[in-house]
A and B are shown apart, each in its own frame.
Chain A
Amino acid sequence: EAGVTQSPRYAVLQEGQAVSFWCDPISGHDTLYWYQQPRDQGPQLLVYFRDEAVIDNSQLPSDRFSAVRPKGTNSTLKIQSAKQGDTATYLCASSPLGGQNTLYFGAGTRLSVL
């Protein structure tokens, strides 16, 4: 079974630039999560979906971050105007219905904002 796929693996931006991250979850997994992991810290939940619906986006900086999962499969996380404080690894994870909340993570996108 293919794992969670994320792209790009790395991104380097100047402040104020925009960037999008893409995630392809494990086939059949209905729940998809985006986590932000600053260097030397644990993953912090930004937003998660069940199918195409947003379940919780309360930790997503809504003025600059947006996330969609239009068909309940792939997802895109976008930062509209990046700041140096956004420097982190962005992890996507998926989980099957009834899967005891076990998360299957992708390798992440490492973002550096200069």
Chain B
Amino acid sequence: SQWGEENLQALSIQEGEDVTMNCSYKTYTTVVHWYRQDSGRGPALIILIRSNEREKRSGRLRATLDTSSQSSSLSITAAQCEDTAVYFCATEDTGGADRLTFGKGTQLIIQP
């Protein structure tokens, strides 16, 4: 999982496989954002899930959120080489501030 680790985690899989990345966060939130960061670029939002959704799908992406365990997951089905990137989860501050706190990230490498 992303929080509680000192550095970036790394995952390497073969093209066509499915993969799941996990995120455990410390402070309560009702929204989890998942961002993707390609090498040399800034992060970009790929999927957002709210506490009343439990599961959200977008193409080959699937996100889940369990507020009781303060965890979220991002799954990619039939991974492709272009899915190689760093994936971050980010939580919203429930104190009303419009800012995000990012996890440490997962480096995903898809081998051809």
Contacts and interface: CB of A to CB of B under 8 A. Distances in A.
Interface stretch (A12-20, A62-70, A100-108): A100-108
Interface residues of B, number: 25
A40 interface: yes
Contacts, number: 59
B26 to A, nearest CB: 13
A42 B88 contact: yes
A91 interface: yes
Contacts of B100: 45, 101, 103
Interface of A: 4, 31, 33, 35, 40-45, 48, 55-56, 91, 93, 95, 100-108
A4 B44 CA distance: 12
A45 B99 contact: yes
B61 interface: no
B99 A40 contact: no
Given A4-B42, A103-B43, 18 more contacts: A40-B8, A40-B105, A41-B8, A41-B104, A42-B2, A42-B104, A43-B43, A43-B102, A91-B42, A101-B31, A101-B99, A101-B100, A102-B33, A103-B35, A103-B45, A103-B100, A105-B44, A108-B41
B48 interface: yes
